[in-house]
Amino acid sequence: QVQLVESGGGLVQAGGSLRLSCASSGRTFSSYSMGWFRQAPGKEREFVAVISWHGGRTSYADSAKGRFTVSRDSDKNTVYLQMDSLKPEDTAVYYCAASYRPLPTTPANYDYWGQGTQVTVSS
């Protein structure tokens, strides 16, 4: 079993930055691809970014490319999502998730989820 806890969300003005963290406990953190998803009210959960178990490969949604950076610190069992140049349309609950599969981009391919952290970007 893996437990995931997100933190770092909040209210920020457009153009600002936030760094989300996702702390993992339980089974071996380094065995999993770690992904970030988001869900806005009335919308489906959508892929944001994913990092491989060893940290050497990443993949981003088009909406995140050039603005968001995913990274992981295996010593701290933590994955991060650095979000820069935030826009109002980035407003959502952000979730981290763990998967046994290599770099999955769909929610169904993830095995464990955190509870989410709210990000609100004001215009």
Q: What is the structure's pLDDT at 36?
A: 98
Q: What are the pLDDT digits (tens) for 64-117?
A: 999 999 999 988 999 999 999 999 999 999 999 999 999 999 999 999 999 999
pLDDT of residue 55: 79
What token pair was written down for 113? 């989820």
**Alpha-carbon gap, residue 112 to 22, rounded angstroms:** 12
pLDDT score, position 27: 67
Give 25's pLDDT tier (boundaries 50, 70, 90): confident
One-letter amino acid identity for 20?
L
